[in-house]
Amino acid sequence: MLTPSRLTLARQRRGLTTADLSRRTGLAPSTITAYERGTRQPTPPTIENLSAALGFPQGFLTAPEPPDPSAVPRGAATAAQLAIEFSAWLDERFTLPAPDVPTHEHPDPETAAEMVRARWNLGAHPAPNMVQLLESRGARVFSTPANCAGAFSFWHRGTPFVFLDPATPPHRARFDAACGLGHLVGQSARPFAAAFLMPRKGITATSVTAHVREHARHWHVDPLALTYRLRDAELLTHDQYRELCARLATEPATGRRETSSLLPRVFRALREQQITPHHVARELLLDVEELNGLVRGLTLTPAARG
């Protein structure tokens, strides 16, 4: 029996409208709408037709209701649902770090960032690899697959999830990870991220105006991001800020993309058990490209390899 919400999930995941799916299957748009609303059930041959048109196994379309994440950006629900199911699959097989992401809704972003830094014993030092830091605190970090551009984060049944766009430059991805943390904490994302990555006590300890690039490398941030932070912290005059922005605007951003430490260990342990990514994808009722889309950019090689 078809699960209506899974047909909708699969269609939206492929970026198709009802009319698009109608053209692929030969079914009337009103018939597809009836299937998605649950007012009509397709025959087994029609389910097979829908499965072939969508590129999802028949088992995916007939599986139980998918998770229903809340507070997810428009257009991102399909990626979130697939990631939640993958995360649940991992939780059944591995002991992953327990969530330790506090919520601080009432303090201002600067204070909240200081409180999280204190809880995680970061002091006023540069934050380490943000992906690995979030993973160590129980967040499930995934890549935003195709058709779901943009970074975002959300809570689902007590577990924090952070999605990063693999197409963004490395420094932007690091800042996006901190923004995701800010959203989970209950703060305005960008001010929190700036305060978390560049704590006031740290950036006031040295004079950075003459060596902004070196200090940006020290904090693992883009020089322009550090310049904005210094301006907001009132550590630059208006003239200094304008001069730095003009000087840095023409320089390309550099840096190395931060990757996961948890996911490579997971796939290595699975290989030792002779469980390939293709097996994982089948158990999740996905194709391996969907699985790769969730980890692309977070591992050095696609999950399907090896």
Expressed as residue numbers, the domain containing 32 is 4-62
pLDDT of residue 240: 85
Q: Which of 23-27, 167-171, 301-305 has the lowest mean pLDDT?
A: 301-305
Q: Is 67 among the domain residues?
A: no
Residue 239 vs residues 231, 235, 243: alpha-carbon distances, Å: 11, 12, 6
Q: Is 18 among the domain residues?
A: yes
Q: Is 24 among the domain residues?
A: yes
User: Is residue 164 located within the same domain as residue 305?
Assistant: yes
Q: Is 69 among the domain residues?
A: no
Q: Is 224 among the domain residues?
A: yes
DSSP string, the chain: ---HHHHHHHHHHTT--HHHHHHHH---HHHHHHHHHTSS---HHHHHHHHHHHT--HHHHHSSPPP--SSPPTT-HHHHHHHHHHHHHHHHHS-PPPP------SS-HHHHHHHHHHHTT-TTSPP--HHHHHHHTT-EEEE--TT--S-EEEEETTEEEEEE-TTS-HHHHHHHHHHHHHHHHTS-HHHHHHHHHS-HHHHTSS--TT-HHHHHHHHTS-HHHHHHHHHHTT-S-HHHHHHHHHHHTTSPP-------SHHHHHHHHHHHTT--HHHHHHHTTS-HHHHHHHHBTTBSS-TT--
Q: Is 68 among the domain residues?
A: no
Q: Is 182 among the domain residues?
A: yes
User: Is residue 124 located within the same domain as residue 10?
Assistant: no
User: Is residue 112 located within the same domain as residue 248?
Assistant: yes
205 — pLDDT class (breaks 50, 70, 90):
low
User: Is residue 94 located within the same domain as residue 195?
Assistant: yes
User: Is residue 122 located within the same domain as residue 41?
Assistant: no
Structure tokens at 67: 């998770």
User: Is residue 21 located within the same domain as residue 159?
Assistant: no
Residue that has been written with the tokens 């208006």 in this structure: 238
Q: Is 257 among the domain residues?
A: yes
User: Is residue 165 located within the same domain as residue 261?
Assistant: yes
User: Is residue 35 located within the same domain as residue 174?
Assistant: no
Chosen domain end from 21, 41, 62: 62
Q: What is the value of pTM for the model shown?
A: 0.90
Greater model confidence, 44 or 149: 44
195: amino acid identity, one letter: A
User: Is residue 115 located within the same domain as residue 236?
Assistant: yes
Q: How many domains does the chain have?
A: 2
65-121: pLDDT as tens digits: 999 888 888 778 889 999 999 999 999 999 999 999 999 888 999 999 999 999 999
Please state the length of the chain: 306
- For the residues 248-268, what does the mean pLDDT come to? 86
- For the residues 273-292, what does the mean pLDDT come to? 91
User: Is residue 56 located within the same domain as residue 127?
Assistant: no
User: Is residue 220 located within the same domain as residue 192?
Assistant: yes
User: Is residue 58 located within the same domain as residue 169?
Assistant: no
144-170: pLDDT as tens digits: 987 776 899 999 999 999 999 999 999
196: amino acid identity, one letter: F
